[in-house]
Protein backbone atom coordinates (compact mmCIF):
# COMPACT_ATOMS: atom_id res chain seq x y z
CA UNK A 1 0.00 0.00 0.00
CA UNK A 2 1.26 3.48 -0.86
CA UNK A 3 1.52 5.63 2.29
CA UNK A 4 2.76 8.74 0.43
CA UNK A 5 -0.54 10.63 0.28
CA UNK A 6 -1.29 14.27 -0.49
CA UNK A 7 -2.15 16.41 2.53
CA UNK A 8 -3.95 19.72 2.99
CA UNK A 9 -0.62 21.47 2.41
CA UNK A 10 -0.35 19.98 -1.10
CA UNK A 11 -3.55 21.61 -2.38
CA UNK A 12 -4.93 25.14 -2.60
CA UNK A 13 -7.83 25.43 -0.15
CA UNK A 14 -8.43 29.20 -0.44
CA UNK A 15 -12.05 30.03 -1.23
CA UNK A 16 -13.00 26.33 -1.36
CA UNK A 17 -15.74 24.51 0.50
CA UNK A 18 -14.05 21.61 2.27
CA UNK A 19 -15.76 18.50 3.64
CA UNK A 20 -13.63 17.52 6.65
CA UNK A 21 -14.07 14.05 8.18
CA UNK A 22 -13.13 14.25 11.87
CA UNK A 23 -13.28 11.80 14.76
CA UNK A 24 -15.60 13.50 17.22
CA UNK A 25 -16.78 10.19 18.70
CA UNK A 26 -16.26 11.56 22.22
CA UNK A 27 -17.57 10.16 25.50
CA UNK A 28 -20.56 12.02 26.96
CA UNK A 29 -22.69 11.75 30.10
CA UNK A 30 -26.13 13.38 30.25
CA UNK A 31 -25.26 15.41 27.16
CA UNK A 32 -21.96 16.68 28.62
CA UNK A 33 -18.60 15.78 27.02
CA UNK A 34 -16.40 13.97 29.57
CA UNK A 35 -13.20 14.07 27.45
CA UNK A 36 -12.58 16.51 24.58
CA UNK A 37 -9.23 14.95 23.60
CA UNK A 38 -10.43 13.98 20.11
CA UNK A 39 -11.87 17.44 19.48
CA UNK A 40 -8.59 19.08 20.53
CA UNK A 41 -6.65 16.67 18.28
CA UNK A 42 -8.64 17.90 15.25
CA UNK A 43 -7.90 21.61 15.87
CA UNK A 44 -4.59 21.93 13.93
CA UNK A 45 -6.22 20.79 10.67
CA UNK A 46 -9.37 22.88 11.28
CA UNK A 47 -7.33 26.01 12.08
CA UNK A 48 -5.10 25.50 9.03
CA UNK A 49 -8.13 25.27 6.73
CA UNK A 50 -9.88 28.29 8.27
CA UNK A 51 -6.68 30.40 8.33
CA UNK A 52 -6.09 29.61 4.67
CA UNK A 53 -9.52 30.76 3.55
CA UNK A 54 -11.50 27.52 3.36
CA UNK A 55 -15.18 27.21 4.32
CA UNK A 56 -15.19 24.03 6.43
CA UNK A 57 -18.05 21.50 6.60
CA UNK A 58 -16.97 19.18 9.42
CA UNK A 59 -18.57 15.76 9.89
CA UNK A 60 -18.22 12.80 12.22
CA UNK A 61 -20.07 9.83 13.67
CA UNK A 62 -20.81 9.36 17.36
CA UNK A 63 -21.64 6.00 18.88
CA UNK A 64 -23.96 3.55 17.16
CA UNK A 65 -27.36 5.15 16.69
CA UNK A 66 -30.06 3.01 15.10
CA UNK A 67 -30.90 4.96 11.95
CA UNK A 68 -34.48 3.76 11.32
CA UNK A 69 -37.47 3.14 13.60
CA UNK A 70 -38.03 -0.34 12.09
CA UNK A 71 -34.44 -1.33 12.93
CA UNK A 72 -34.92 0.09 16.46
CA UNK A 73 -38.09 -2.02 16.96
CA UNK A 74 -36.27 -5.16 15.78
CA UNK A 75 -33.25 -4.53 18.04
CA UNK A 76 -35.34 -3.79 21.15
CA UNK A 77 -37.57 -6.82 20.51
CA UNK A 78 -34.47 -9.05 20.27
CA UNK A 79 -33.25 -7.59 23.58
CA UNK A 80 -36.55 -8.53 25.21
CA UNK A 81 -37.72 -4.94 25.84
CA UNK A 82 -41.40 -4.76 26.82
CA UNK A 83 -43.49 -3.89 23.69
CA UNK A 84 -45.12 -0.86 25.39
CA UNK A 85 -41.63 0.68 25.83
CA UNK A 86 -40.73 0.33 22.13
CA UNK A 87 -42.13 3.64 20.94
CA UNK A 88 -41.14 6.19 18.33
CA UNK A 89 -40.57 8.64 21.18
CA UNK A 90 -38.09 6.24 22.84
CA UNK A 91 -36.26 5.83 19.52
CA UNK A 92 -36.03 9.62 19.02
CA UNK A 93 -34.70 9.93 22.58
CA UNK A 94 -31.98 7.35 21.84
CA UNK A 95 -30.96 9.34 18.74
CA UNK A 96 -30.89 12.62 20.65
CA UNK A 97 -28.36 11.16 23.12
CA UNK A 98 -25.91 10.78 20.23
CA UNK A 99 -26.32 14.24 18.73
CA UNK A 100 -23.15 16.18 17.89
CA UNK A 101 -24.61 19.43 19.32
CA UNK A 102 -22.31 19.29 22.40
CA UNK A 103 -19.33 18.92 20.01
CA UNK A 104 -20.38 22.05 18.09
CA UNK A 105 -20.61 23.95 21.39
CA UNK A 106 -17.17 22.77 22.51
CA UNK A 107 -15.61 23.59 19.13
CA UNK A 108 -17.08 27.11 19.38
CA UNK A 109 -15.42 27.55 22.79
CA UNK A 110 -12.05 26.20 21.66
CA UNK A 111 -11.91 28.21 18.43
CA UNK A 112 -13.60 31.36 19.69
CA UNK A 113 -15.96 31.43 16.69
CA UNK A 114 -19.55 30.43 16.06
CA UNK A 115 -19.81 26.86 14.76
CA UNK A 116 -23.04 26.52 12.78
CA UNK A 117 -24.81 23.25 13.57
CA UNK A 118 -26.94 21.45 10.97
CA UNK A 119 -29.96 19.53 12.24
CA UNK A 120 -29.40 16.75 9.69
CA UNK A 121 -26.65 15.14 7.59
CA UNK A 122 -27.57 15.75 3.95
CA UNK A 123 -31.06 17.23 4.34
CA UNK A 124 -32.40 20.75 3.90
CA UNK A 125 -30.64 22.17 7.00
CA UNK A 126 -27.19 20.85 6.01
CA UNK A 127 -27.53 21.94 2.38
CA UNK A 128 -28.80 25.44 3.25
CA UNK A 129 -26.00 26.07 5.78
CA UNK A 130 -23.35 24.71 3.39
CA UNK A 131 -24.61 26.92 0.54
CA UNK A 132 -24.31 30.05 2.73
CA UNK A 133 -20.97 29.13 4.33
CA UNK A 134 -18.21 31.68 3.71
CA UNK A 135 -14.40 31.32 3.75
CA UNK A 136 -13.12 31.23 7.34
CA UNK A 137 -16.42 29.81 8.65
CA UNK A 138 -17.06 26.37 10.15
CA UNK A 139 -20.21 24.25 10.29
CA UNK A 140 -20.86 20.77 11.65
CA UNK A 141 -23.18 18.15 10.17
CA UNK A 142 -25.30 16.02 12.49
CA UNK A 143 -24.15 12.48 13.43
CA UNK A 144 -23.27 10.69 10.16
CA UNK A 145 -24.74 7.44 11.43
CA UNK A 146 -28.20 8.96 11.60
CA UNK A 147 -28.06 7.99 7.89
CA UNK A 148 -28.37 4.22 7.44
CA UNK A 149 -26.28 4.42 4.25
CA UNK A 150 -23.16 5.65 6.09
CA UNK A 151 -21.83 2.27 7.28
CA UNK A 152 -22.93 0.59 4.02
CA UNK A 153 -20.88 3.07 1.92
CA UNK A 154 -24.06 3.98 0.06
CA UNK A 155 -23.07 5.85 -3.14
CA UNK A 156 -26.15 8.13 -2.99
CA UNK A 157 -25.16 9.29 0.51
CA UNK A 158 -21.51 9.71 -0.52
CA UNK A 159 -22.62 11.77 -3.54
CA UNK A 160 -24.93 13.93 -1.40
CA UNK A 161 -22.12 14.62 1.10
CA UNK A 162 -19.72 15.44 -1.73
CA UNK A 163 -22.24 17.75 -3.45
CA UNK A 164 -21.84 20.31 -0.62
CA UNK A 165 -18.07 20.73 -1.12
CA UNK A 166 -15.22 21.03 -3.62
CA UNK A 167 -12.51 19.17 -1.67
CA UNK A 168 -12.50 16.28 0.82
CA UNK A 169 -10.07 16.16 3.76
CA UNK A 170 -9.85 12.97 5.81
CA UNK A 171 -8.55 13.38 9.36
CA UNK A 172 -10.23 10.59 11.36
CA UNK A 173 -7.61 7.83 11.54
CA UNK A 174 -9.82 5.78 13.86
CA UNK A 175 -12.24 5.17 10.98
CA UNK A 176 -9.95 4.69 7.93
CA UNK A 177 -10.06 0.89 8.21
CA UNK A 178 -13.78 1.08 7.39
CA UNK A 179 -15.14 1.65 3.87
CA UNK A 180 -17.96 4.00 4.83
CA UNK A 181 -19.65 6.72 2.77
CA UNK A 182 -17.79 9.47 4.66
CA UNK A 183 -14.40 7.72 4.81
CA UNK A 184 -14.01 6.21 1.34
CA UNK A 185 -17.18 6.80 -0.72
CA UNK A 186 -16.88 10.60 -0.98
CA UNK A 187 -13.44 10.24 -2.59
CA UNK A 188 -15.22 8.93 -5.72
CA UNK A 189 -16.74 12.40 -6.19
CA UNK A 190 -14.17 14.84 -4.76
CA UNK A 191 -10.36 15.25 -4.77
CA UNK A 192 -9.34 13.65 -1.46
CA UNK A 193 -6.35 14.52 0.75
CA UNK A 194 -5.44 13.92 4.40
CA UNK A 195 -5.31 16.25 7.38
CA UNK A 196 -2.40 16.51 9.82
CA UNK A 197 -3.55 13.67 12.12
CA UNK A 198 -3.67 11.08 9.34
CA UNK A 199 -0.52 12.48 7.72
CA UNK A 200 1.36 11.83 10.98
CA UNK A 201 -0.16 8.36 11.47
CA UNK A 202 0.68 7.05 8.00
CA UNK A 203 4.01 8.86 7.91
CA UNK A 204 5.38 7.43 11.15
CA UNK A 205 3.69 4.01 11.12
CA UNK A 206 4.13 3.58 7.38
CA UNK A 207 7.88 4.21 7.61
CA UNK A 208 8.22 1.92 10.65
CA UNK A 209 6.71 -0.96 8.71
CA UNK A 210 8.19 -0.26 5.27
CA UNK A 211 11.70 0.95 6.17
CA UNK A 212 12.38 0.74 9.92
CA UNK A 213 15.56 1.76 11.70
CA UNK A 214 16.97 -1.48 13.13
CA UNK A 215 16.91 -3.35 15.43
CA UNK A 216 13.10 -3.32 15.03
CA UNK A 217 11.19 -4.72 18.02
CA UNK A 218 7.44 -5.34 18.18
CA UNK A 219 5.64 -5.96 21.48
CA UNK A 220 2.19 -7.56 21.34
CA UNK A 221 -0.17 -8.10 24.24
CA UNK A 222 -3.90 -8.35 24.82
CA UNK A 223 -6.22 -11.23 25.47
CA UNK A 224 -6.44 -13.59 22.51
CA UNK A 225 -4.13 -14.92 19.81
CA UNK A 226 -7.11 -14.97 17.42
CA UNK A 227 -7.37 -11.15 17.66
CA UNK A 228 -3.83 -10.78 16.32
CA UNK A 229 -3.34 -13.72 13.95
CA UNK A 230 -2.45 -11.63 10.90
CA UNK A 231 -0.49 -9.10 12.94
CA UNK A 232 1.87 -11.80 14.28
CA UNK A 233 2.39 -13.34 10.85
CA UNK A 234 2.95 -9.96 9.14
CA UNK A 235 5.36 -8.66 11.81
CA UNK A 236 7.48 -11.83 11.63
CA UNK A 237 8.30 -10.75 8.06
CA UNK A 238 9.57 -7.36 9.28
CA UNK A 239 10.94 -7.36 12.83
CA UNK A 240 14.19 -8.48 14.44
CA UNK A 241 12.51 -9.33 17.75
CA UNK A 242 8.86 -10.15 18.49
CA UNK A 243 7.76 -10.01 22.13
CA UNK A 244 4.49 -11.65 23.17
CA UNK A 245 2.84 -10.94 26.54
CA UNK A 246 -0.68 -10.57 27.88
CA UNK A 247 -3.32 -13.29 27.83
CA UNK A 248 -2.24 -14.40 24.36
CA UNK A 249 1.16 -15.54 25.70
CA UNK A 250 -0.40 -18.54 27.49
CA UNK A 251 -1.45 -20.15 24.21
CA UNK A 252 2.16 -19.86 23.01
CA UNK A 253 3.41 -21.32 26.31
CA UNK A 254 0.90 -24.18 25.99
CA UNK A 255 2.14 -24.73 22.40
CA UNK A 256 5.63 -25.20 23.89
CA UNK A 257 4.18 -27.99 26.04
CA UNK A 258 3.94 -26.03 29.30
CA UNK A 259 0.96 -26.40 31.63
CA UNK A 260 -0.87 -23.06 31.90
CA UNK A 261 -3.38 -23.92 34.66
CA UNK A 262 -6.65 -22.03 34.26
CA UNK A 263 -5.02 -19.18 32.27
CA UNK A 264 -6.67 -17.80 29.15
CA UNK A 265 -6.13 -20.37 26.39
CA UNK A 266 -7.02 -20.17 22.69
CA UNK A 267 -7.05 -23.98 22.33
CA UNK A 268 -7.89 -23.87 18.60
CA UNK A 269 -4.78 -21.77 17.93
CA UNK A 270 -2.13 -24.10 19.39
CA UNK A 271 -1.03 -25.32 15.96
CA UNK A 272 -0.92 -21.71 14.70
CA UNK A 273 1.38 -20.77 17.60
CA UNK A 274 3.67 -23.70 16.78
CA UNK A 275 3.78 -22.53 13.14
CA UNK A 276 4.63 -18.98 14.20
CA UNK A 277 7.43 -20.17 16.50
CA UNK A 278 8.81 -22.26 13.61
CA UNK A 279 8.48 -19.26 11.27
CA UNK A 280 10.40 -17.06 13.72
CA UNK A 281 13.21 -19.61 13.87
CA UNK A 282 13.29 -19.93 10.09
CA UNK A 283 13.41 -16.11 9.62
CA UNK A 284 16.02 -15.62 12.34
CA UNK A 285 13.58 -13.53 14.40
CA UNK A 286 14.00 -13.61 18.17
CA UNK A 287 10.60 -14.56 19.70
CA UNK A 288 10.42 -13.66 23.40
CA UNK A 289 7.77 -15.16 25.68
CA UNK A 290 7.29 -14.62 29.44
CA UNK A 291 9.83 -16.53 31.57
CA UNK A 292 7.91 -15.90 34.80
CA UNK A 293 4.26 -15.18 35.50
CA UNK A 294 2.15 -13.47 38.17
CA UNK A 295 -0.59 -15.93 39.14
CA UNK A 296 -3.78 -15.91 41.26
CA UNK A 297 -6.59 -18.31 42.13
CA UNK A 298 -9.09 -16.49 39.92
CA UNK A 299 -9.73 -13.40 37.82
CA UNK A 300 -10.18 -10.32 40.06
CA UNK A 301 -13.82 -9.51 40.85
CA UNK A 302 -14.36 -6.57 40.90
CA UNK A 303 -11.68 -6.10 38.26
CA UNK A 304 -9.83 -3.43 40.27
CA UNK A 305 -10.37 -5.10 43.66
CA UNK A 306 -7.70 -6.53 46.01
CA UNK A 307 -6.14 -9.81 44.88
CA UNK A 308 -3.57 -12.22 46.33
CA UNK A 309 -0.82 -13.10 43.85
CA UNK A 310 2.48 -14.93 43.61
CA UNK A 311 5.11 -15.21 40.89
CA UNK A 312 6.22 -18.56 39.39
CA UNK A 313 8.36 -19.62 36.40
CA UNK A 314 6.25 -19.78 33.23
CA UNK A 315 6.74 -23.56 32.97
CA UNK A 316 5.48 -24.12 36.54
CA UNK A 317 1.96 -22.65 36.65
CA UNK A 318 -0.13 -24.88 39.02
CA UNK A 319 -3.20 -26.54 37.50
CA UNK A 320 -5.62 -24.53 39.66
CA UNK A 321 -3.97 -21.13 39.14
CA UNK A 322 -4.27 -18.48 36.44
CA UNK A 323 -1.59 -16.27 34.88
CA UNK A 324 -2.63 -12.58 34.97
CA UNK A 325 0.57 -10.55 34.35
CA UNK A 326 4.22 -10.97 33.42
CA UNK A 327 6.67 -11.50 36.30
CA UNK A 328 9.67 -9.38 37.35
CA UNK A 329 12.29 -11.33 35.32
CA UNK A 330 10.11 -11.05 32.20
CA UNK A 331 9.65 -7.32 32.79
CA UNK A 332 13.46 -6.94 32.76
CA UNK A 333 13.83 -9.18 29.69
CA UNK A 334 11.21 -7.26 27.68
CA UNK A 335 12.50 -3.84 28.85
CA UNK A 336 16.09 -4.70 27.85
CA UNK A 337 14.93 -5.73 24.36
CA UNK A 338 12.96 -2.47 23.98
CA UNK A 339 15.85 -0.32 25.21
CA UNK A 340 18.33 -1.85 22.75
CA UNK A 341 16.01 -1.23 19.75
CA UNK A 342 16.01 1.63 17.23
CA UNK A 343 12.29 1.17 16.39
CA UNK A 344 9.65 -0.21 18.80
CA UNK A 345 5.97 -0.83 18.06
CA UNK A 346 3.72 -1.78 20.99
CA UNK A 347 0.09 -2.92 20.88
CA UNK A 348 -1.72 -4.52 23.81
CA UNK A 349 -1.24 -4.70 27.63
CA UNK A 350 0.94 -7.30 29.38
CA UNK A 351 -1.66 -8.21 31.99
CA UNK A 352 -4.97 -7.17 33.58
CA UNK A 353 -3.91 -3.52 33.52
CA UNK A 354 -7.16 -2.31 35.16
CA UNK A 355 -6.03 -3.88 38.46
CA UNK A 356 -3.12 -2.03 40.19
CA UNK A 357 -1.58 -5.32 41.39
CA UNK A 358 -1.63 -6.73 37.84
CA UNK A 359 -0.52 -3.57 36.02
CA UNK A 360 3.21 -3.85 36.75
CA UNK A 361 4.06 -5.61 33.47
CA UNK A 362 2.26 -3.03 31.35
CA UNK A 363 3.83 -0.19 33.37
CA UNK A 364 7.30 -1.71 32.90
CA UNK A 365 6.86 -1.82 29.10
CA UNK A 366 5.53 1.76 29.03
CA UNK A 367 8.50 2.87 31.17
CA UNK A 368 10.97 1.06 28.88
CA UNK A 369 9.53 2.85 25.83
CA UNK A 370 9.63 6.19 27.64
CA UNK A 371 13.31 5.61 28.57
CA UNK A 372 14.27 4.37 25.10
CA UNK A 373 16.01 6.55 22.52
CA UNK A 374 14.30 4.55 19.75
CA UNK A 375 11.41 5.62 17.54
CA UNK A 376 8.52 4.42 19.72
CA UNK A 377 5.03 3.82 18.38
CA UNK A 378 2.11 2.80 20.59
CA UNK A 379 -1.12 1.39 19.13
CA UNK A 380 -4.48 2.62 20.43
CA UNK A 381 -6.55 1.19 23.26
CA UNK A 382 -5.08 0.03 26.58
CA UNK A 383 -1.42 0.57 25.60
CA UNK A 384 -2.14 4.21 24.73
CA UNK A 385 -4.22 4.62 27.93
CA UNK A 386 -1.32 3.21 29.99
CA UNK A 387 1.19 5.69 28.53
CA UNK A 388 -1.19 8.60 29.07
CA UNK A 389 -2.17 7.63 32.63
CA UNK A 390 1.48 7.23 33.61
CA UNK A 391 2.41 10.60 32.16
CA UNK A 392 4.70 9.08 29.50
CA UNK A 393 2.78 10.34 26.45
CA UNK A 394 5.25 13.15 25.71
CA UNK A 395 8.16 10.68 25.81
CA UNK A 396 6.65 8.41 23.12
CA UNK A 397 7.34 9.29 19.47
CA UNK A 398 3.80 8.52 18.40
CA UNK A 399 0.61 7.29 20.11
CA UNK A 400 -1.92 6.19 17.52
CA UNK A 401 -5.41 7.72 17.62
CA UNK A 402 -7.05 4.61 16.15
CA UNK A 403 -7.06 1.22 17.91
CA UNK A 404 -8.70 -0.88 15.17
CA UNK A 405 -7.03 1.08 12.37
CA UNK A 406 -3.54 0.78 13.89
CA UNK A 407 -4.06 -2.98 14.33
CA UNK A 408 -5.04 -3.40 10.68
CA UNK A 409 -2.05 -1.24 9.74
CA UNK A 410 0.20 -3.73 11.59
CA UNK A 411 -1.54 -6.59 9.77
CA UNK A 412 -0.41 -5.05 6.47
CA UNK A 413 -4.02 -4.62 5.34
CA UNK A 414 -5.06 -1.94 2.89
CA UNK A 415 -7.00 0.73 4.76
CA UNK A 416 -9.90 1.88 2.51
CA UNK A 417 -9.93 5.41 3.93
CA UNK A 418 -6.21 5.82 3.18
CA UNK A 419 -6.25 4.05 -0.20
CA UNK A 420 -8.96 6.51 -1.37
CA UNK A 421 -6.67 9.53 -0.90
CA UNK A 422 -4.65 11.09 -3.72
CA UNK A 423 -1.05 9.85 -4.02
CA UNK A 424 1.75 12.39 -3.85
Find the catalytic residue in 149, 221, 261, 381: 381
Report the C-alpha gap between 394 and 397 in whole angstroms: 8
Residue 303 Cα distances to 220, 262, 281, 357, angstroms: 22, 17, 37, 11
Report the C-alpha gap between 351 and 246 in whole angstroms: 5
**327 catalytic per annotation:** no
Find the catalytic residue in 38, 106, 238, 331: 38
Find the catalytic residue in 207, 224, 286, 395: 224
**136 catalytic per annotation:** no
**214 catalytic per annotation:** no
Picking from 208, 204, 170, the residue whose alpha carbon sits closest to that of residue 18 is 170
Radius of gyration for the chain, computed over Cα atoms and rounded to the nearest angstrom: 24
Please return the burial class of 181, using the count of CB atoms within 10 Å of its CB with bins 0-12, 13-18 and 19+.
Answer: buried
**381 catalytic per annotation:** yes
Find the catalytic residue in 123, 203, 206, 404: 404
Residues catalogued as catalytic: 38, 224, 381, 404
Amino acid sequence: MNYAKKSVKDVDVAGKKVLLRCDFNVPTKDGVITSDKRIVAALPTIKYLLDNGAAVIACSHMGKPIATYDAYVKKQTEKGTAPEKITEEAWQKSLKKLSLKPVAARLSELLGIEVKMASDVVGESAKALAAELKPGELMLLENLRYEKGETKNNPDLAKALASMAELYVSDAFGTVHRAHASTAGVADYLPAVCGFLIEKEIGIMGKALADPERPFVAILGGAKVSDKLNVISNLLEKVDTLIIGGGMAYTFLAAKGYGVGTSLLDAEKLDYCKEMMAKAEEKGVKLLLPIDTVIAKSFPDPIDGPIEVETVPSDSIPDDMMGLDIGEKTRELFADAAKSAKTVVWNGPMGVFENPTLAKGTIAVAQALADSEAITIVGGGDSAAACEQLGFADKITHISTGGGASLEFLEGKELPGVAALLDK
